[in-house]
Amino acid sequence: MKRFGIIAHLKRPNIERTTRVIIDWLKSQGLTYWICKELADVIGETEFVKPKKKLYEDIDCVLSLGGDGTMLSSIRNVGHHGIPVFGINVGQLGFLTEILAQDIPAALEKLKNDDFEIEERMVLEAKILDSECGSYYALNDVVLDHGDSTRLIKLDLYQLNASHEELFVCPYNADGLIISTPTGSTAYNLAAGGPVLHPHLGAIIASPICPHTLTLRPILFDDRSCLEIKVALENIDVRMTVDGQVRCNLESGTRVRVCKAPHNIKLIRIKDYSFFEILRTKLHWGARPLTTNHD
């Protein structure tokens, strides 16, 4: 890695100082860097500045400074160009980020010396049918919900077979529906009672949000499946949200098609990676409940 792009969450504490540490180190090593324009405006940088959408040009990887939300934003801007992303956690939970800010110099040394591994993750592609909108890409999930309304929405779920014939799966009277990747299984899907999947599995999860029935449960599809969701209720608009960041409103009768995207995204790993260790340390998976000793 000789050429770096930098994207950051501008409201995180010490983001300016953290960015300066990175820039100074890269300059000391004679390495090339580009900064997204929003970050450059904050730190007063005038050289080597590009818009996020152009940051993939002339770089080998992106350094994403923030939390998982910043990682998702970085991936959305460069991931489909095959550019790997390296996460530096100056956020909170940090499920996708690799290291903490204090480990930056040692981590950059590893990147410079190509002492790392690339981990590929599945991405979803969502399309609003009969619309001029392009494709939306999600590393975590595509969510259809009632937006600002408090009313239940009605959605119909279909699976397309190999001949693209519709197979009706089920109707949902619910607050919404989450279509999730294995990576996103520990995000909104988990909060809605969906299953935790290892991120290397090839699968798509459909998890209802507060369904108004006792019989509807999350469904697991293989990653060759193509799903369609129809907005079935009249006079109530439905909101579609991609990775919790990109939103648009859908009218009654609208159909959304969600399939595995033709590309994967690439995450840079410099440490031995254990998905189960992350579950234990960050979600306290398997932790025994505390007991009170009354003796």
243 is catalytic: no
Is there a shared CATH topology between the 3-121+264-282 domain and the 124-260 domain?
A: no
> Averaged over 188-197, what is the pLDDT?
94
User: Would you state the pLDDT for residue 165?
Assistant: 86
Side-chain half-sphere CA neighbours of 249 within 13 A: 9
Q: Which residues pair with 144 in a beta bridge?
A: 177, 240
Distance from C-alpha of 62 to C-alpha of 101, rounded to nearest angstrom: 15
Distance from C-alpha of 160 to C-alpha of 168, rounded to nearest angstrom: 9
Distance from C-alpha of 236 to C-alpha of 209, rounded to nearest angstrom: 17
User: Would you state the pLDDT for residue 229?
Assistant: 96
**Residue 34 CA, distance from chain mean position:** 23
- Nearest CA to 195 out of 203, 205, 209 is that of 205
> Averaged over 259-273, what is the pLDDT?
90
What is the radius of gyration, based on Cα positions, of the chain?
A: 21
* 82, pLDDT greater than 60: yes
Name the burial class of residue 174, with classes exposed (0-12), middle (13-18) and buried (19+) by CB atoms within 10 angstroms of its CB: buried
* 290, pLDDT greater than 90: no
Query: What average pLDDT is seen over the chain?
Result: 89
> Averaged over 260-286, what is the pLDDT?
85
Sheet with 176-180, side-by-side order of all strands? 219-222, 203-209, 176-180, 141-145, 238-242, 246-250
Q: Which pLDDT band holds residue 6 (cuts at 50, 70, 90)?
A: very high
Higher pLDDT, 167 or 149: 167
Name the burial class of residue 29, with classes exposed (0-12), middle (13-18) and buried (19+) by CB atoms within 10 angstroms of its CB: exposed
User: Would you state the pLDDT for residue 91?
Assistant: 66
Helices and strands (H and E) in the chain: how many:
6, 20
Q: What share of residues in the chain are helix, strand, coil (percent, to 5)?
A: 20, 35, 40
Architecture, CATH, for domain 3-121+264-282: 3-Layer(aba) Sandwich (3.40)
Residues 232-248 have pLDDT tens digits of: 876 677 899 999 999 99
User: Would you state the pLDDT for residue 275?
Assistant: 81
> Averaged over 120-127, what is the pLDDT?
96
Selected catalytic residue, list 24, 68, 145, 243: 68
Domain residue limits, the chain: 3-121+264-282, 124-260
Topology of domain 124-260, per CATH?
Answer: Tumour Suppressor Smad4 (2.60.200)
User: Would you state the pLDDT for residue 156?
Assistant: 95
User: Would you state the pLDDT for residue 131?
Assistant: 85
Task: Report whether 186 contacts 199 (CB < 8 A).
Answer: no
Higher pLDDT, 41 or 95: 41
Residues 12-39 have pLDDT tens digits of: 878 898 999 999 999 999 999 999 999 9
User: Would you state the pLDDT for residue 106?
Assistant: 92
Cβ neighbors of 21 (< 8 A, separation 6 or more) are: 101, 104, 105
Q: Which pLDDT band holds residue 292 (cuts at 50, 70, 90)?
A: low
Q: Which pLDDT band holds residue 293 (cuts at 50, 70, 90)?
A: low
Residue type, 225: S
- Give the CA-trace dihedral at 179, 181, 183, 184, to 10 degrees: 0
Three-state DSSP state, 95: coil
Q: Which pLDDT band holds residue 148 (cuts at 50, 70, 90)?
A: confident
Q: How is residue 204 written in tokens? A: 């798509």
Q: How is residue 230 written in tokens? A: 């129809």
